[in-house]
Structure 1
Amino acid sequence: MDSKTQRYFFIGSEWLYYKLYMGSRISDIFLTSTLTPIANELLKQEIIDKWFFINYKDPERHVRIRFRVIDPKNLNYVIQILHKAINSYVNEKTINKVVIDTYKRELERYGNETIEESESIFFINSRLIVYLISRVTNDNQRWLWGMKTIDTFLDAWNMSVEQKRDFFEGLKKGFDREMGATTDINRQLSMKFRNNRGDINTILEQNSDQEFDMVLQNYFKQTREIVSQILTKRKAIEPKLNMADLLGSYIHMHCNRLFKSNQRLNEWVLYNYLFQYYRSKAAQMKSETSKKILIAQE
């Protein structure tokens, strides 16, 4: 691995890193109505080439936002624009603290050679999540669309239904241990899955929202291009990079952005539902294949 990969970026470098302390309701408004229009304009002007956000607690809830400024000479311009936008929230006391901090890359998790591709995945995922936040009307729709976007992400990695099933079985087991899941709790989750099975099947198999479908197609295409770069680098340079762990990290951050509160709990439920769906789907496909073989032998 390239030991020269830069880990730290402090103020004055190409990465500008903000921590904005605000509540979950305001963060949705800020991300959709304020940040995204500014970021889109900076992208259009080719002042930045990517940005992404995550939700965090330290222990105060805040949103962490990172911008990659193409030419650091434009840093003051970006800061001034953001200051003006953030200041109105500060005056209204909906943002109570603003911190510009040092961005420390997680090179061990995302790979020295593939950290830039990972940051590109964070970027397109952040834009997707902001779109979802602007469209969802209730929490039920939020997790349903979360399932659909995760499924699309895994499709970009060419994962089969069986591979998806096994992948989420592993994630589910990890969360079961973390959450102290009992037989009774798992039974309740299975019941909730069955109660929502119709909606889950519809969103994963028969999505009829044309606008959402176009957004997903674009997300798949962009993700697929980055995945190709990651797999090429992994084969040539970073063969020890654990792909299951890497995918788990990407999807974990996807859930972090999607759910504005109780992220771990919502993530656990989502993984449970996805495992149950893929397990059922794999069994159904196996049964259909067996029937076709029997018919062919008659």
Structure 2
Amino acid sequence: MSGTTPELPIVVRDALMPKAQRLVVNRRGSTVWEVESRRGRYAVKVGRPIEATADWPAQPWTALAPAREGAVLHRLGRDDIAYGVWKHGTWNFQQWRNGPDLYRLWEPCRKQDSPVEPHVSAALGCVEALAELHAKGWAHGDVQPAHFIIGPERTHLIDLALAGGGHVPGWYDFPFRGCLVHYEAPEIARSVLDTGEAEPTPEADVYALGASLLISATGWRAVEYPDDAPRPVQREAVANGSRRPVKVPGELGTLISAMLSHAPEDRPTVYEVGKALS
């Protein structure tokens, strides 16, 4: 869709009858709008396949991701979700969540010589949101700072298209092939390198939460590799455990270091992290 302005699928426009809409994300394979309608404010996600390039293979799963997320949210008991098919892939709409994401919220902490320290209450809100998902038998699979929305009353964990733990109808299901490598646990990275696939787990979510807290607080990734390194090189660094030291003060730093342990069994559970922060 390069060079063109995307439009909401007709079926979504008919369902929501938008009074106003704002394009939030427009990238290969995924478009997101904020839509205001008489029914309320919604996030509308539209997926389409990514075609192969000289540098990257084709990614057909991106067309299915919105419907897969819709199915997961439905399984989790959400009643503010609708999803379906359009001519290029699938779509969903769900309640819009107000608030900054974790990385944006902690921006003052990352400024050089800043006296501002990360808010433990914000970290606890992220932990509670993830713990709620784990308590329902699901692992998120794509934990990252942008997926924690710090609302006025609670923190929301969004973007569950890669979540695992329950039944997803086969026609829009697809294998889990890892996530953004900055937040990928070593065992996930190794599995993707060796087999091309992996399984989301609560332990890997805890690692990803630790990496999210670290980069949001300091601006540094958990693992060191060149910014322009190919993805397999990044994953090899993660799988081999070449981790940076955690330079976050206090109890939060100690917890982050434990969450980033190389072996899954050495990491605290999300419930243990929450108890420590409380």
For normalisation by structure 2, the TM-score amounts to 0.29
Which structure has more relative contact order (CA 8 Å, sep 6+)? It is 1
The structure with the greater share of residues assigned to helix is 1
Question: Could you state the TM-score of these two structures normalised by the residue count of structure 1?
Answer: 0.28
